[in-house]
Amino acid sequence: MRSTMMDAPLQVSRILEHGATVHGAAEVVTWTGAEPRRSTYADVGRDAARLAHALRAECGVTGDERVATFMWNNTEHLVAYFAVPSMGAVLHTLNIRLFPDQVTYIANHAEDRVVLVDATLIPLLAKSLGGMTSVRHVVVVGGGDPAPLLAAAGDRIAVHHWDALLADRPEVYDWPEVDERDAAALCYTSGTTGNPKGVAYSHRSIYLHSLQICMPEGFGLGPTDRELAIVPMFHAMSWGLPFAAFLSGASLVMPDRFLQAAPIAEMIAAERPTLAGAVPTIWTDLLAYLDSHDVDTSSLTEVIVGGSACPPSLMHAFDERHGIDVIHAWGMTEMSPLGSVSRPPAGASGDEAWRYRYTQGRVPAGVRARVVGPAGEPLPADGTSVGELEVRGPWITARYVGDDAPDPEKFRDGWLRTGDVGTLSADGYLTLTDRAKDVIKSGGEWISSVELENALMAHPAVLEACVVGVPDQRWDERPLATVVLREGASATPEELRDFLAGSVARWQLPERWAFVEAVPKTSVGKFDKKVVRSRYADGDLNVRELATP
């Protein structure tokens, strides 16, 4: 039986229209280092119409052409977030933190036609622009020397200025009705191995994800909120905060390029946000600043931490010293990005509530989650069965841009393989302990390398410990422990294994041990386990093998 409901697509232009009218008085504030710039959502609505007219008339943007941004978090980036998808084109947020060659690769892969760039980022974009083969127009926002850009652009690329481009354009635009499953925005993963991979969000996925962000179980956004959006708008769609803000009427405070602790503290004191979202390092820096300066943070009741796991010490410090709840959220670019939010269940308090808050959090209805074993078999959601986490839902990608079929390394039977290993409890809380590639598969069972490392590093003689899986004839893989001792300290493999036996199951105890000068690290400071494994394979490590106890 067919329903009698209207066929009204979920589309970004509806979020824009709603925010610009019903919440027209809500505010977007952009930090400048001096007097902040202020506009209303009604202003953003008018500028979005102007930008769409300009892109159509002057840059020839039609159909689903890609319009890229190379920008900080600011009002103009917000205008582009709404104008580009609303006109039916595709917003592509370029990550300014990637190597210039990667930026060029991504722009070419996405076939970007236009790039909007903050004037302060001209020198950086100039390094990538020359190689961008599909780009025909660059639009500069704000004042600055355009010379490097003009040099890189050559004859092929026209350079415009935002103010001139938008001047005298109509304040309204007849936004087209779109197919809600068409692409609205593109984001590429930073890709530690291989080339970056693109995810194309739909109007539908953005709309549904935004509703979830606003739910009390998500970030609980409403019209009385002011959201300090530190998480970059070029990173995983800024966690959907711009869209959620227009849906809910929450105002936005945008830091532009002022991401150091001092200006962030100043923004909090001056603009009185109720909520903020950023990666742990921002909060670590801010905490140190707040501890040594007198800053009024009384407006701020909650900060959302995502992007990587949040140290419990950071959560406790904000709670005890500043009365701010740090809420852990987990997600991926492939997931729009919201996967879970670590709010404790109703009724939990004290230590029990903290234990929930240390987890990656609880999944919403829009995210189905399961853990699967080594052969892909679903494991029980019992809080103890360890497996790879797989997810499924309307705002999760089914493949990467340009792939005809889902890559089996990343997708299985319609589920996204997150590459994270951990447990799922019956009440939907995720606890992630390892990356799947770092888990040691021993005799059909999984051993967490991170748990062994944490247990080893609790030994007073151990400075660092890196554990990897190495081939084993009998068990397929067994753990190899590489240990850096503290200066002047000494310990034998036997001693360390005995120490481990106090907290680790017997069959998980490593036989292979190597003492090293230092653990090799990746460019972002993580243990480089690939290098450790290849050194072992090459015989470059001085390994002692203990007898099975």
| Interface positions, 382-411, toward a second copy (CB under 8 A) | 392-401
Cα distance between residue 41 and residue 226, in whole Å: 13
Cβ closer to a second copy: 181 or 521?
A: 181
Closest CB to a second copy among residues 2, 474:
2
Asked if 181 contacts 11 with a C-beta cutoff of 8 angstroms, the reply is no
Q: How far is the CB of 307 from a second copy (least distance, A)?
A: 22
Specify the residue, 180 or 438, whose C-beta has the smaller distance to a second copy. Answer: 180
**What is the spatial distance between Cα 235 and Cα 185, in angstroms, rounded to a whole number?**
12
Minimum CB distance to a second copy, residue 407 (Å):
11
| Binding-site member from 69, 73, 74, 212 for a second copy (CB under 8 A) | 212
Is 43 a residue that touches a second copy (CB under 8 A)?
no
Is residue 32 within 8 A of residue 68, CB to CB? The reply is no
Site for a second copy contains 381 (CB under 8 A)? yes
Return the number of the residue (33 or 380) whose C-beta is nearest a second copy: 380
Among 34, 168, 174, 216, binds a second copy (CB under 8 A): 216
Contact flag: residue 91 with a second copy (CB under 8 A): no
How many CB atoms are located within 10 Å of the residue 353 CB?
13
Indicate whether 2 belongs to the interface with a second copy (CB under 8 A).
yes
> In the set 94, 138, 214, 317, which binds a second copy (CB under 8 A)?
214
Secondary structure of residue 53 in the 3-state scheme: helix
For residue 388, indicate whether it is catalytic.
Answer: no
> Residues 438, 443, 445, 449: is their CA dihedral positive or negative?
negative
The answer to whether 343 contacts a second copy (rule: CB under 8 A) is: yes
Phi, then psi, of 182 in degrees rounded to 5 = -75, 160
Give the x-and-dash track for 175-194 against a second copy (CB under 8 A). Answer: ------xxxx----------
The reply to whether 6 sits near a second copy by the rule CB under 8 A is yes
Asked whether 480 and 510 are in contact (CB, 8 A), the reply is: yes
Q: How far is the CB of 418 from a second copy (least distance, A)?
A: 14
Contact stretch for a second copy (CB under 8 A) within 158-166, 209-217, 285-293, 315-323 = 209-217
Integer angstrom CA distances of residue 209 from 129, 184, 339? 33, 13, 10
Could you tell me the two tokens for 46? 């008018």
Check binding of 316 to a second copy (CB under 8 A): no
Residue 370 engages a second copy in binding (rule: CB under 8 A) = no
| CA 352 to centroid of chain Cα atoms | 28
> Is 441 labeled as catalytic in the residue annotation?
yes
Query: Residue 204, interface with a second copy (CB under 8 A)?
Result: yes
Q: How far is the CB of 232 from a second copy (least distance, A)?
A: 21
Question: What's the N-to-C CA distance of the chain in angstroms?
Answer: 67
| Site for a second copy contains 489 (CB under 8 A) | no
Q: Decide: 360 and 340 in contact? Cβ < 8 Å.
A: yes
Q: Please tell me whether residue 113 binds a second copy under the rule CB under 8 A.
A: no
Question: Per CB under 8 A, does 268 bind a second copy?
Answer: no
Ramachandran area for residue 234 (φ above 0: left; ψ -120 to 50: alpha; else beta): alpha
CB nearer to a second copy: pick between 397 and 418 = 397
Which residues have a Cβ under 8 Å from the Cβ of 14 and sit 6 or more positions away?
Answer: 207
* By CB under 8 A, residue 25 contacts a second copy: yes
The region of 44-52, 153-161, 247-255, 445-453 touching a second copy under the rule CB under 8 A is 247-255
**Total of chain residues touching a second copy, rule CB under 8 A:** 74
- Residue 75 sits in the site that holds a second copy (CB under 8 A): no
| Range 410-449, binding a second copy (CB under 8 A) | 414, 416, 426-428
Nearer Cβ to a second copy, position 15 or 338?
Answer: 15
Based on the shown chain and the rule CB under 8 A, indicate whether residue 26 belongs to the binding site for a second copy.
Answer: yes
Site membership for a second copy, residue 346 (CB under 8 A): yes
Rounded to 5°, the CA angle 309-311-316 comes to: 135
189-195 contacts at long range (C-beta below 8 A, 24 or more positions apart): 189/333, 189/334, 190/95, 190/97, 190/98, 191/102, 192/522, 195/102, 195/105, 195/109
Contact residue for a second copy among 39, 95, 248, 342 (CB under 8 A): 248
Taking the C-alpha atoms of residue 236 and residue 238, their distance in angstroms, rounded to an integer, is 5
Compute how many other C-beta atoms are within 10 angstroms of the C-beta atom of residue 435: 16
Is residue 189 flagged as an active site residue?
A: yes
Environment class of 285 (CB within 10 Å of its CB; exposed 0-12, middle 13-18, buried 19+): middle
Which of 75, 104, 189, 397 is the catalytic position?
A: 189
Tokens for 135, please give them.
């780009």
Nearer to a second copy, 7 or 35 (CB): 7
Please tell me whether residue 368 binds a second copy under the rule CB under 8 A: yes
Query: Which DSSP symbol is given to 428?
Result: S
242 binds a second copy (CB under 8 A): no
Alpha-carbon dihedral sign for residues 467, 469, 473, 474? positive
Residues belonging to the active site: 189, 334, 441, 446
